[in-house]
Amino acid sequence: MIVDELGGKIKKYTVMYGEYTMDQIIADTNLINSAKEKTFDFTGTETVLDMELNLYDGLDPSKVYYVRVIPKDANGIGGQISTQDMRFKLADQTYGEGIFTGTALTATHEAAGANMSLANITHSCNPDCTTPTQGNKKITLSWIAVPGSDMVDIYLQDSTNGIFNRLATVNMSDEKYELQTSRNGEHIFKFVPDNGGTEVHYIVNIG
């Protein structure tokens, strides 16, 4: 979830998905009519937001779909649409960010890169993650090394603009990365194998 200018969690979202990128839609606004939408209302207690797709949604497994997210206020008025295209393809269960080039996604799928969803990522904090304290807390991210990649890029999402910034590139075999934070709220990390494979997001809540 993202937060508003007052720090409150935004609980309403519309997810748009279709076969065209944002740049294509901007160039030809008629293309937006082909996009499908799902709207969600959350309680604010979720740590992961899931979008379920069913057979009646009519997706073609062989096609690449691009996803945008629109946050909405309590009255349902939309905010700024996400600027980074996310994409997925059901046939080979590949996904990522940015434009599908026709070769990069296939190469990523065929590479023997690590599947970070199997790495059993966990965390701990000192002082305890959810205990209100003054000053910094040390977050320790831990994982189990998985085959396919020697290195892992670790990113942290900027809470103001949603952009992921790389914190470090570490050895897969290190199985641990530590950082200091003075910010409360959600810290959304992204683990990306250095040579393809499957990346994952991981959320740490700081009190």
Q: What is the pLDDT of residue 106?
A: 33
- Is residue 139 one of the residues assigned to a domain? yes
Give tens-digit pLDDT for 45-75: 776 677 787 777 888 888 888 888 888 887 7
Residues 170 and 186 in one domain: yes
Residues 83 and 171 in one domain: no
Q: What is the pLDDT of residue 103?
A: 38
Residues 35 and 73 in one domain: yes
Q: What is the pLDDT of residue 177?
A: 97
Give tens-digit pLDDT for 124-174: 999 998 888 888 999 999 999 988 899 999 999 988 888 889 999 999 999
CATH code, 133:
2.60.40.10
Please give the mean pLDDT across all residues of the chain. 82
Last residue of a domain, one of 79, 110, 141: 110
Give tens-digit pLDDT for 182-195: 999 889 999 999 88
Residues 82 and 148 in one domain: no
Residues 190 and 176 in one domain: yes
- Is residue 1 one of the residues assigned to a domain? no
Residues 6+ apart with CB under 8 A from 49: 1, 13, 40, 42
Residues 60 and 136 in one domain: no
- Is residue 182 one of the residues assigned to a domain? yes
Give tens-digit pLDDT for 7-43: 777 888 888 888 888 778 887 888 888 888 888 888 8
- Is residue 6 one of the residues assigned to a domain? no
User: What percentage of the chain has pLDDT greater than the value 70?
Assistant: 90
* Total number of domains in the chain: 2
Residues 96 and 184 in one domain: no
Last residue of a domain, one of 110, 138, 160: 110
Give dist(CA 141, CA 139) in Å, integer. 6
Q: What is the pLDDT of residue 45?
A: 77
Residues 103 and 120 in one domain: no
Q: What is the pLDDT of residue 156?
A: 94
- Is residue 87 one of the residues assigned to a domain? yes
Fill in the amino acid letter for 3: V
- Is residue 7 one of the residues assigned to a domain? no
Burial of 139 (0-12, 13-18, 19+ CB in 10 A): buried
- Is residue 5 one of the residues assigned to a domain? no
Residues 82 and 154 in one domain: no
Fill in the amino acid letter for 153: D
Nearest to 116 by CA among 19, 35, 200, 175: 200
Question: Is there a cis peptide before residue 127, judged by omega within 30 degrees of 0?
Answer: yes
Q: What is the pLDDT of residue 47?
A: 65
Residue pair 75/159 in contact (Cβ under 8 Å)? The answer is no
Pick 58 or 123 by higher pLDDT: 123
Residues 104 and 155 in one domain: no
Pick 103 or 193 by higher pLDDT: 193
- Is residue 194 one of the residues assigned to a domain? yes
Last residue of a domain, one of 81, 110, 139: 110
Give dist(CA 116, CA 203) in Å, integer. 14
Give dist(CA 108, CA 94) in Å, integer. 8
Both tokens of 39, joined, read 């709207």
Residues 202 and 120 in one domain: yes
Give dist(CA 45, CA 38) in Å, integer. 20
Q: What is the pLDDT of residue 100?
A: 61
Q: pTM, whole model, 2 decimals? A: 0.50
The residue segments making up the domain with residue 124 are 116-206
CA of residue 58 relative to chain centroid, distance: 24
Residues 144 and 95 in one domain: no
